[in-house]
Amino acid sequence: MIITEILARNRRMYGDEVALIERVPEKNLRREITWLQFDEEANKVANFLIDMGVKKGDKVVHLMMNCLEWLPTYFGILRTGAWAVPLNFRFSADDINYCTEISEAKIMIFGPEFVDRIKQVKDKLDKFIEKYIFVGNDGETPCPDFAEDYYKLLEKYPADDPKIPLEITDDAALYFTSGTTGQPKPILLTHRNLESACIVENRHHLQTHEDNFILIPPLYHTGAKMHWFGNFIVGAKAVILKGVSPKWIIEAVSEEQGTIVWLLVPWAQDILVAIENGEINLKDYKLDQWRLMHIGAQPVPPALIKNWLKVFPHHQYDTNYGLSEATGPGCVHLGIGNIHKVGAIGIPGFDWEYKIVDLEGNPVKKGEPGELVVKGPGVMKCYYKNPEATKNALRDGWLYTGDMARVDEDGFIYLVDRKKDIIIVGGENIFPVEIEDFLAEHPDIQDAAVIGIPDERLGEIPIAIIKLKPGRDLSEEDVLKYCEKLPRYKRPRKVYFDDVPRNPTGKIEKPKLRKKYAGIESSFKL
């Protein structure tokens, strides 16, 4: 079923029930809408877009921070038959212009946080954008003179379904990669891709109408939205939490009676640290109904989950592996019944299959590392306007992920590392994630990243960037001593104490670290 039809069905079945709640702890604000209001707002958005000339196959840029209007706007775009083009809220003005130019979008819907960035490149954007629509949900920023006010448009247009014919094979959305390995690439997804994400997520996490999903990561990314799809398909509510802090997350779970929370690695780490330091007293909150904590978007240190289950022993847990090219999470997942395999990314998701292959695309022997390739209903249609990249990524229906993995004797897949992150030390391949997981087991270390820097003799050597837990003290010598448990060639040669930069989906931003540290001269030897 096309997801816009799922929304209409939810309205018919659960119209008076709460669909979405927005919490802004910093301002002590809370808003909510019912399924009826959600559906009507989506229809109004569709109707004013159609009146502005939007037709099936057109593109609409969607540039907003998480808010109560985000999802109704997204569904409104889809109802016109146009492509939704959600953009990363961290994109610079030039990135916004680049993505708009690639997509050839004719409408831009944007929030108050982006006014200045849009003004910087508006003369370039005007070559494509015919109408700007401003969603001033902060109540403070006035509508720019070049834009139309979203809320005035909602008042003006009807809430009737425009009934634009849609097929499950129609193109639906253009998502841009995060750009951590280069310029963002546009990923074209179909309505079939979006439907499959609903089904896969619900099969994996068994959401019922009674569940309540605490939604924290950015909605522009496939991860957060496609996890919410598991609730959406059964008409279950969700809480959009604006702002991230351990206390705000725990308060939202307690006060809204949340049952499912998807966390990123640093957020889970921060929650455990806050509990350990006494900043959060779990006895002050009602958390018995919280049944599932799951993590995705980046490698998960096994030590983190072991520590989590000591604090929350009744929790179900799942690791979700995915990528935007596979319509978000779920092509591989650990599974809530496989807690004994923490450390693996898991087994093929519902309706998915996989292979581990060598550089020529041939399957490797079990246990050997190779590139993970996947096949299933969520595989993207293509990299839009990039046939060469599409040819490299899609081969005979298989998606080449660029991630290195291996399979154990029980058929569980372990992520080894990104192809581009492998460090070659004197001819030996080092997978940074293995060292990062090892460092994460140290009781004083909160986060860690390992990168390679140039070395005249060995080609590259590994260095570690470490973030300590608050109030903890370690020296470089302490860390190097701890790493003596590793094989000699895997040991970091240098340690730096610094923040570990992560993007909005939790992935370590290793290009930033390489830029900062790659020029360091090294005389460290094996």
Q: Are 357 and 227 in contact (CB under 8 A)?
A: no
- Residue 11 CA: distances (Å) to CA of 15, 17, 76, 232: 4, 9, 15, 11
**Ranges of the chain with pLDDT below 70:** 178-182, 297-299, 417-420, 424, 426-429, 456-459, 504-505, 519-526
SS3 readout for 94-159: HHHHHHHHHHCCCEEEECHHHHHHHHHHHHHHCCCCCEEEECCCCCCCCCCCCCEEHHHHHHHCCC
- For residue 416, the model assigns a pLDDT of 77
Domains and CATH numbers, the chain: 3-9+27-196 (3.40.50.12780), 204-418 (3.40.50.12780), 422-517 (3.30.300.30)
Indicate the residue type of 276. E
- For residue 331, the model assigns a pLDDT of 96
Say how many residues make up the chain: 526
DSSP 314-348: T-EEEEEEEEGGGTEEEEEE--TT-GGGBTB-BEE
- For residue 422, the model assigns a pLDDT of 73
* Predicted confidence (pLDDT) per residue in 326-368, tens digit: 998 899 999 998 989 988 999 999 999 999 999 889 999 989 9
- For residue 266, the model assigns a pLDDT of 80
Q: Are 290 and 308 in contact (CB under 8 A)?
A: no
Task: Give the three-class secondary structure for 401.
Answer: strand
Indicate the residue type of 395. R
Give dist(CA 305, CA 467) in Å, integer: 18
Prediction pTM value: 0.83
